[in-house]
Amino acid sequence: MNAPTQIAHLVPELNLRAVPQALLDALKARFGANCSTALVVREQHGRDESSFQAPPPAAVVFAESTADVSDAVKLAAAHDVPVIPFGVGSSLEGHLLAVQGGISIDVSRMNKVLSINAEDLTVTVQPGVTRKQLNEEVKSTGLFFPIDPGADASIGGMSATRASGTNAVRYGTMRENVLGLEVVTASGEVIRTGTRAKKSSAGYDLTRLMVGSEGTLGVITEVTVRLYPLPEAISAAICSFPSIEAAVRTTIQVIQMGIPVARVELIDHNTVRMVNAYAKLNLREEPLLLMEFHGSPTGVKEQAETVQEIATDFGGNAFEWASTPEERTRLWTARHNAYFAGVQSRPGCRAISTDTCVPISRLADCLLDSIAEADASGIPYFLVGHVGDGNFHFGYLIDPNSVQERETAERLNHQLVARALSMEGTCTGEHGVGLHKMDFLITETGTGAVDMMRTIKRALDPKNIMNPGKIFAL
Amino acid sequence: MNAPTQIAHLVPELNLRAVPQALLDALKARFGANCSTALVVREQHGRDESSFQAPPPAAVVFAESTADVSDAVKLAAAHDVPVIPFGVGSSLEGHLLAVQGGISIDVSRMNKVLSINAEDLTVTVQPGVTRKQLNEEVKSTGLFFPIDPGADASIGGMSATRASGTNAVRYGTMRENVLGLEVVTASGEVIRTGTRAKKSSAGYDLTRLMVGSEGTLGVITEVTVRLYPLPEAISAAICSFPSIEAAVRTTIQVIQMGIPVARVELIDHNTVRMVNAYAKLNLREEPLLLMEFHGSPTGVKEQAETVQEIATDFGGNAFEWASTPEERTRLWTARHNAYFAGVQSRPGCRAISTDTCVPISRLADCLLDSIAEADASGIPYFLVGHVGDGNFHFGYLIDPNSVQERETAERLNHQLVARALSMEGTCTGEHGVGLHKMDFLITETGTGAVDMMRTIKRALDPKNIMNPGKIFAL
């Protein structure tokens, strides 16, 4: 989900560790102008798109190579000082905050596409390459990288949070699409995981252990991901429905029938109104599904017809088609701007975002009960969802100066997560745990599994210097 | 790949640990008749389909519940005695051998399908459920479980080795299809990983750490996997080619175009001859591709036509269609019997199987060079491949009494693995590391990554009792 800066209304538990001058001197000596202690630079690297606030890191190293990252980690390790990898800063969960002090390692200058293997449908990139840049650079090969979280996130950051977004229903998430990694470990050693082969049974799946580890096990310095042939045909459609339930039931049936829809996004009627106002559009102010179909011309036609039939059964109407690239861009821009539209709908407000994901059969119940609760609370909200995956986001639009509204939004989020977990779902479909969901994680997976995560963390990072204080308390 | 018992020609390094009588007494007291120390039972559990030989485990516990597994592990842990999980015994890599002594925990009686969630396309099973049983039990829902390694392996064993097989080109491997697990850890604790939601960013991906860990991190006691709607239409075809290269180039182009073929299997002309003799068939004795297409009737027709055009360009001929379920069963039975056909082609011989997997662009080079080497060696062989994934298996058919032939086969395998690794591939696409590929694993991923695996192993299993001596030496 795309999101600009939210209110800094939550202060995480701080446990600041000392950053000795000797380390700063050593970093300056090694990195020169690529190490900054300027307050403005540190502050920029000490926040993200979450609601959290903490003192900034003591220094920022702008890494230009794996060797830079390795040396920075080694120096930090020698002084027991935390390191926090930084891509473009689009985390929504406080991943980038220096809650235990330390230094930020900014990898945004490591932004080279290292090798495009078009014949194998793979590409290897440095972690600072953003998803839009990647798609630009591979365009001439007729391939594309489908994972689209909305924000123009870095591939390194997307790997670290196991990101996904609107195309995941067909193409999977970073979990399915990262083939291999280069990682700088807590001791500064450089390791490689995975190969470019499509499958492997060669030992522990370190690639997938690193994907979603949120910087707590190492710094990702190279990523090999899968690419896909650009579909021969693409069409997109908007369909409005008499109710959220009708839109969701349509989605559920589409998924259960195995129709390989590429995108199916829900926007509720309130959010349509906000989007219309923000982007000067005239979408019907009813719950909408935005869909996209990829395949051969015949295949796309067939998928679209089947979906249209299902939608009609549930009272859906007015399928509007967007077949040109321009129309499609307009459609998906509207979707990606839902967050901004929501925030702008209530001047001065801030958004608190949720990220639950449930098995598709429970999606209607989970959504409808949560909508009823949100409506009863009186807090305005926007609501969008990657509903084909059972994943949706409320954005509670609160007055940042109202303690009561903030508490109400947190209560709504707790109730929503509790509901999703009771339905065998997860507290986070794609944003990660970070600072905000550490308690939810324990409820979701149990102390046994979280203890296993802690044991792995302690073993691989005995000094607890890799982005400490995230995912779980140690 | 399907494979019956191979020759026990290799003896791994043994490091037998004592199994005290006190443990055997405690197991007898806890499990009664479900704990056996009979030699025949122990011997049956002390081997698998690999070429390795080792003394059998000291006892076999037939677990009937997670509590049984937990108690068995706790008792073993109390005496520092290894435990080796056993499903149906179809490992090809020595996973089941008690190379450090210990007890076998047979989970084949834990064979219940616990819950079918047809609407969510998920099913939760005990680890002893086999893939054929699973498909039988979900058939009435209109869904199926696609992973097909040939052998009727257990879902627990398939998870532990990250298995795949003929359908992986379209549906992925166990890596992509396991959503969640219940695992008994080295201390006997029961933990849960994952949820039934389709995606999640909730902490470390313990599910995928366990998938492929070959019993070295815990005993899998419950598995939730994805199911798929049975395709509306299925068709299968055989196409013969003037050369291996033509068949492989056809495959490469099919994959590069993104055609969602469900199966594409290569059988070389020698192996066709063996299969014909074994199964009394009349397949053209040329390199063959066996293919299967899944989708809507229109989609299947379209895929098949496109593939046929590509094949024709490469000199492929005589597309033979198998559209009825019976014809398709005959076709895939022929494929799955290739191993047996190979072994029977040389009376008294034994097969040494390989399992390399390379990026698809390198497949032709890797195969052709390896064929030339095998031909030059004079050792007869069969050759089959999941070529859509770049994965193939030579079976070198050696005289078990000839030291020279055995050494030649091992040399061919080493050369093949070295070639695959030089092409950014892997030593094992789907069989796992076990005992046979421990050195290859180090070459493939480097000492840094293997050291990380060791560190994780030591942290999660400090007594080194979980299937010790597999994947890497500690």
Kindly give the pairing relationship between strand B103-106 and strand B83-86. parallel
Please give the backbone phi and psi of residue A50, each rounded to the nearest 5 degrees, phi first. -85, 180
Within-domain flag for B92: no
Residue A376 pLDDT class (50, 70, 90 cuts): very high
C-alpha gyration radius of chain B: 22
Kindly determine whether residue A453 and residue B204, on different chains, have CB atoms separated by under 8 Å.
Answer: yes
Residue A153's pLDDT is 97
Tokens of B212: 């492929």
Cα–Cα distance for residue pair B121/A279, rounded to 1 Å:
38
B residues 199..228 contacting A (CB < 8 A): 199-206, 208-209, 211-213, 217, 228
- pLDDT digit string, tens, across residues B157-212: 999 999 999 999 999 999 999 999 999 999 999 999 999 999 999 999 999 999 99
Q: How confident is the model at residue A4 (pLDDT cuts 50, 70, 90)?
A: very low
Question: What per-residue confidence (pLDDT) applies to A7?
Answer: 39
B51-82 burial string, b = 16+ CB within 10 Å, else e?
Answer: bbebebbbbbbbbbebebbbbbbbbbbebebb
Query: How many helices and strands (H and E) does chain A possess?
Result: 16, 18
Is B72 part of a structural domain of the chain? no
* E strand map for A250-387: 263-267, 288-295, 317-322, 350-353, 381-386
Beta bridge partners of A144: A228
Q: B144 and chain A: CB distance < 8 Å anywhere? A: no
DSSP A228-245: EEPPSEEEEEEEE-SSHH
**Nearest-CA distance B203 → chain A (Å):** 6
| CATH code at position A208 | 3.30.465.10
Whether A213 and A308 share a structural domain:
no
- Report DSSP state, residue B346: S
Asked whether the beta carbons of A271 and A384 are under 8 A apart, the reply is yes
Closest chain A residue by Cα to residue B199: A429
Query: Does residue A193 sit in the same domain as residue A242?
Result: no
B161–chain A nearest CA distance, Å:
6
Q: Which of residues 151-190 of A touch B (CB under 8 A)?
A: 161-164, 168, 172-173, 175-176, 185, 189-190
Same domain, A221 and A321: no
The DSSP element (H or E) to which B469 belongs, if any, is none
Instruction: Provide CB contacts within 8 A for A247, sequence distance 6+.
Output: A239, A241, A266, A287, A288, A289, A314, A316, A387
Identify whether A463 is part of a domain: no
The chain A residue lying nearest B362, using CA atoms, is A120
- Cβ atoms of B214 and B434 closer than 8 Å: yes
Enumerate residues 6+ apart whose C-beta is below 8 A from A442.
A450, A472
Alpha carbon distance B427, B444 (integer Å): 7
Q: Identify whether B119 is part of a domain.
A: yes
Could you give the CA distance from residue A468 to residue A362 in angstroms, rounded to a whole number?
A: 35
Q: Which residues of A touch B434 (CB under 8 A)?
A: none
pLDDT exceeds 50 at position B121: yes
Is B28 inside a domain boundary? no
User: Is residue B332 one of the residues assigned to a domain?
Assistant: yes
Nearest residue, CB atoms, B357 vs list A193, A200, A211: A200
pLDDT digits (tens, 9 = 90+) for B222-253: 999 999 999 999 999 999 999 999 999 999 99
User: How far apart are the C-alpha atoms of B182 and B200, rounded to whole Å?
Assistant: 17
Cβ separation B361–A120 shorter than 8 A: yes
Query: How many Cβ atoms from other residues are within 10 Å of residue B37's Cβ?
Result: 15
Nearest CB to B205: which of A175, A252, A428? Answer: A175
| A283-305 residue pLDDT tens | 899 999 999 999 999 999 999 99
A91 shares its domain with A37: yes
Band (B6; pLDDT cuts 50, 70, 90): very low
DSSP state of A121: T
Q: Same domain for A237 and A200? A: no
Nearest CB to B201: which of A194, A212, A295?
A212
- A272-284: average pLDDT: 91
Q: Which residues of A touch B302 (CB under 8 A)?
A: 296, 298-299
Among A193, A208, A441, the residue with its CB nearest the CB of B202 is A441
What's the confidence (pLDDT) of residue A336? 85
Contact A196 B425 (CB under 8 A): yes
Q: Would the CB atoms of B445 and A202 count as touching at under 8 Å?
A: yes
Q: For B109-133, what is the mean pLDDT?
A: 97
Rounded Cα gap, residues B114 and B376, in angstroms: 52
At residue B10 the predicted structure's pLDDT band, cuts being 50, 70 and 90, is: low
- Specify the higher pLDDT residue, B7 or B381: B381
Specify whether A378 is located in the same domain as A410: yes
Residue A33 burial (10 A CB sphere; 0-12, 13-18, 19+): exposed
Query: In whole numbers, what is the pLDDT of chain A averaged over residues?
Result: 94
Do B316 and B403 lie in one domain? The reply is yes
Query: Which pLDDT value is given to residue A5?
Result: 36
Q: Which of residues A204, A229, A254 is at a domain's end?
A: A229
Helix (H, G, I), strand (E, B) or coil at A315: coil
Q: Are A98 and A57 in contact (CB under 8 A)?
A: yes
Is the Cβ pair B428, A200 closer than 8 Å? yes
State residue A11's pLDDT score.
Answer: 64
* B192, B195, B205 ranked by CB distance to A426: nearest: B195
- Residue A10: the pLDDT is 60
Mutation site, B174, B187, B200, B302, interface A, largest A CB count within 10 A: B200
Nearest to B191 among A117, A197, A452 (CB): A452
Q: Quick one: B128 and B268 in the same domain? A: no
| B395/chain A closest Cα distance in angstroms | 19
Query: Chain B closest CA to A157's CA: distance in Å?
Result: 13
Task: Flag whether pLDDT at B325 surpasses 50.
Answer: yes
CB contact under 8 A, B357 and A204: no
B9 pLDDT exceeds 70? no
Nearest to A180 by CA among B444, B198, B213, B417: B444
Supply the CATH number for residue A351's domain.
3.40.462.40
Q: Report yes or no: B295 and B232 within 8 Å, Cβ to Cβ.
A: yes
CB B344 within 8 A of CB B273: no
Residue B7 has pLDDT above 80, yes or no: no
Q: Which of B204, B252, B449 sits opposite A191 (nearest CB)?
A: B449
Contacts of B385 in chain A (CB under 8 A): none
Does B267 lie at the interface with A, CB-CB under 8 angstroms?
no
Which of A161, A360, A453 has its CB closest to that of B120?
A360
Any chain A CB within 8 A of the CB of B361?
yes
Task: Let me know whether A238 and A316 are in one domain.
Answer: yes
Domain ends where: B229, B258, B291? B229
For residue B469, being part of any structural domain is answered with no
Question: Does residue B281 surpass a pLDDT of 80?
Answer: yes
Asked if A117's CB is within 8 angstroms of B361's CB, the reply is yes
Beta bridge partners, A351, equal A397
Asked if residues A259 and A169 have their Cβ atoms less than 8 Å apart, the reply is: no
Q: Is residue B314 part of a domain?
A: yes
Average confidence score pLDDT of chain B = 94
pLDDT digits (tens, 9 = 90+) for A208-251: 999 999 999 999 999 999 999 999 999 999 999 999 999 999 99
Give the count of Cβ contacts less than 8 A between chain A and B.
282
CA B70 to chain centre: 26
Of B394 and B150, the structure prediction assigns the larger pLDDT to B394
- B197·A437 Cβ contact <8 A: no
Check if A117 contacts B (Cβ < 8 Å). yes
Report d(CA B36, CA B42) in Å as an integer.
Answer: 8
In angstroms, the Cα distances linking B171 to A195, A319, B229, B429, B467 are 20, 31, 12, 15, 30
CA distance A206 to B39: 39
Domain count, chain B: 2
Do A225 and A254 fall within a single domain?
no
Q: Nearest to residue A296, comparing CAs of B236, B184, B303, B453?
A: B303
Cβ neighbours, 10 Å, residue A113? 16
Distance from the A353 Cα atom to the nearest Cα atom in chain B, whole angstroms: 15
Q: Are residues A321 and A368 in the same domain?
A: yes
B130 and B263 part of one domain: no
- For B13, the 3-state DSSP assignment is coil
Tell me: the pLDDT tens digits for B357-416?
999 999 999 999 999 999 999 999 999 999 999 999 999 999 989 999 999 999 999 999
Distance, CA of A137 to chain centre:
22
Q: What is the CATH number of the domain that holds A26?
A: 3.30.43.10
Q: Which domain does A357 fall in, by range?
A: 233-422
For A348, list phi and psi in degrees, rounded to 5: 85, -5
| Strand bridging mode A83-86 / A103-106 | parallel
Q: How confident is the model at residue B11 (pLDDT cuts 50, 70, 90)?
A: low
Nearest to A358 by CA among B119, B254, B137: B119
Q: A interface mutation test: which of B190, B198, B209 has the most A CBs within 10 A? A: B198
User: pLDDT by residue (tens digit) across A45-97?
Assistant: 999 988 788 999 999 999 999 999 999 999 999 999 999 999 999 999 999 99
CA distance B177 to chain A (A): 10
pLDDT higher than 50, residue B2 = no
Interface of B with A in 419-458 (CB under 8 A): 420, 424-433, 437, 440-441, 444-446, 448-450, 452-453, 455-456, 458
Beta strands at A103-106 and A59-62: parallel, antiparallel or unpaired: parallel
Of the three residues A166, A194, A229, the one that is the final residue of a domain is A229
pLDDT at B81: 98
Question: Comparing A4-13, B42-51, B192-201, B391-400, which segment has the lowest mean pLDDT?
Answer: A4-13
